[in-house]
Amino acid sequence: MTIDVLVIGMGAVGTVYGYVLSQNSNVQVTAIARSSYDAMKDGIHLKSDKFGDHLFKPYRIVKDAEEANDRPYKYILCAMKCLPDLLPTASILAPFLESKHADTSTSVDLEDGPTVVLLQNGVGIEVPLAHAYPHVPIISSVVWVGANLLPGGVVTHGSLEQLIMGLFTGEGGDPSGAAEHVESEFADPHGYRQQPDGPARLEEGRRRTQAFGDLINNGGGCAVVVDEIQPKRYEKNLWNAAFSSMCAMSRRPVSEVVSPASLPYTLPVVRRTMLEVIYVARAWGITEEQLPLKTVDDTITLTIRNYQRKSESPGTAADAAADTEATLNFKPSMLLDVEAGRPAELEPILGSLLDRARAKGVPTPRLDVAYAVLKCHQAQAVEAHAQTPQYQEHIRKWLARKPTVGGLGTAGRKAWDQAIKRAGLSDAGFGGGKDKIPGKPVQ
């Protein structure tokens, strides 16, 4: 039986997992490559330490959603960046989830509706999509891949590749701080535990998750299916919140951030930043058993081992990763975006942590600084990439939605209210960026 898979976002991650899925003889991969279509229409050159050197040609490479929206898809992979401050994921998926080919209203049958797979960074990225499409199962995935997209349709990839995934069943709390809304809005947005058909949909969602993991493993990748994905998301965000932000602020690749010359200065800041992420996770109910404190030091040790040049770390060559150009020159996507003047995943990686920290009264001084520094770039990049009045309205409301730095809990919200009042921005319409931008679905 043929399985049609749609990949939205043919960057480095989309290419790697599009290739892995295509190694299953019954899988047909359709890839949307809007800006890179001309470079990729004849195939993508994948240069991987793990998978080898290949010219990867998906079943179809198309320019836009309209061209791809001609059939039902069993899995829709979101490999584009999560940019809620510019364009919500739900708006990107709308053409497919509201298509005549997709029955997403009540179905729990794999044949009748798609499953969304989020291959995106950050914390809290699933909730807006779950609110917009409560009957669409969401496989939330944590991607561990060292890969970069180069000009000319070339993707370089080292040896690191692992996909940790689990069915999204809710978060452990409510960022607004309103306890009465926790159960319905954040803890169980799909209604798995509250609605009559919830248990059946939950069982079907878990089956789909395992089936997708099997496709990844059968294609030569490394998929690990877990019952609770949120602790794994916080674990990944340890690395991104600390290392990605430091690389973006310093404009240097990972190998230079962990070089012996830099490490005495970068290591203490990286470690304390990671501890702040742990503190936020604890406030949101993630336990020591789910996310051990030693994960901080384990993550730092693994990063140094993988990315520090062998010649710079005598005595550790036996434990070090391959000293390849792809590994040593690896730049986190946040750094690549800053260098190119594109919007970065600032909100899902840092902003969402600060939202949750403020709601629980957790101080995060290092995360605050990183967010504030990178926000200068982000604000300019988002404005430059806004395409329509709907974008502009969404951006305006997003920027005024709530404070993330400069205050804790109620005191911070009061300070923010006073600030927007002084600026003449205290209209009743300010409240938060919408899950979907109104108007025609984004193509």
CATH number at residue 32: 3.40.50.720
Instruction: For 386-437, write each residue's pLDDT tens digit.
Output: 776 767 777 777 766 655 665 444 444 555 455 545 555 444 433 344 455 4
Q: How many CB atoms lie within 10 A of CB 392?
A: 12
- Domain assignment of residue 88, given as a range: 3-227
Mean pLDDT over 141-170 rounds to 92
pLDDT band at 68 (very low <50, low <70, confident <90, very high): very high
Q: Are residue 25 and residue 142 in the same domain, yes or no? A: yes
Q: For residue 402, is it within any domain?
A: no
In 3D space, the residue among 164, 328, 333 whose CA is nearest the CA of residue 243 turns out to be: 333
Q: Are residue 201 and residue 68 in the same domain, yes or no? A: yes
Angle at 87 between CA 82 and CA 92, to 5 degrees: 85
Q: Are residue 122 and residue 166 in the same domain, yes or no? A: yes
Q: Are residue 201 and residue 297 in the same domain, yes or no? A: no
Q: Which of 352, 375, 390 is the last residue of a domain?
A: 390
CB 128 within 8 A of CB 168: no
* Choice between 356 and 116, residue whose per-residue pLDDT is larger: 116
Q: For residue 206, is it within any domain?
A: yes
Q: Which of 192, 227, 262 is the last residue of a domain?
A: 227
Q: For residue 87, is it within any domain?
A: yes
The SS3 call for residue 214 is helix
As a whole number of angstroms, the distance between CA 125 and CA 131 comes to 11
Q: Are residue 205 and residue 239 in the same domain, yes or no? A: no
Point out the least confidently predicted range of 133-137, 318-322, 331-335: 318-322
List, as one string, the DSSP characters of 321-334: PP--HHHHT---HH
Q: How many CB atoms lie within 10 A of CB 443?
A: 15
Angle at 397 between CA 392 and CA 403, to 5 degrees: 135
Q: Are residue 187 and residue 288 in the same domain, yes or no? A: no
Q: Which of 362, 390, 418 is the last residue of a domain?
A: 390
Q: For residue 398, is it within any domain?
A: no
Q: Are residue 252 and residue 192 in the same domain, yes or no? A: no
Instruction: For 382-397, write each residue's pLDDT tens digit.
Output: 988 877 676 777 777 7
Q: For residue 202, is it within any domain?
A: yes
Task: Give the mean pLDDT of the chain.
Answer: 84
Instruction: For 91-127, write each residue's pLDDT tens digit.
Output: 999 999 998 777 655 544 545 789 999 999 999 999 8
Q: Are residue 249 and residue 191 in the same domain, yes or no? A: no
**Model-level pTM greater than 0.85?**
no
* Residue 185 pLDDT greater than 70, yes or no: no
* Choice between 326 and 232, residue whose per-residue pLDDT is larger: 232
Q: How many CB atoms lie within 10 A of CB 283?
A: 16
pLDDT band at 54 (very low <50, low <70, confident <90, very high): very high
CATH number at residue 243: 1.10.1040.10
Q: Are residue 221 and residue 265 in the same domain, yes or no? A: no
- Please state the domain count of the chain: 2
Q: Are residue 30 and residue 92 in the same domain, yes or no? A: yes
For residue 322, the model assigns a pLDDT of 42
For residue 417, the model assigns a pLDDT of 57
Q: For residue 146, is it within any domain?
A: yes
Q: Would you state the torsion angle of the CA atoms of residues 88, 424, 427, 380, taken in this order, to the nearest 10 degrees? A: -10
- Integer angstrom CA distances of residue 82 from 90, 128, 145, 344, 362: 10, 11, 17, 9, 25
Q: For residue 405, is it within any domain?
A: no
* Choice between 180 and 64, residue whose per-residue pLDDT is larger: 64
Q: Are residue 135 and residue 266 in the same domain, yes or no? A: no
Q: How many CB atoms lie within 10 A of CB 129?
A: 26
As a whole number of angstroms, the distance between CA 167 and CA 81 comes to 20
For residue 230, the model assigns a pLDDT of 94
* Residue 66 pLDDT greater than 50, yes or no: yes
Q: Are residue 168 and residue 139 in the same domain, yes or no? A: yes
Mean pLDDT over 204-216 rounds to 97
pLDDT band at 441 (very low <50, low <70, confident <90, very high): very low
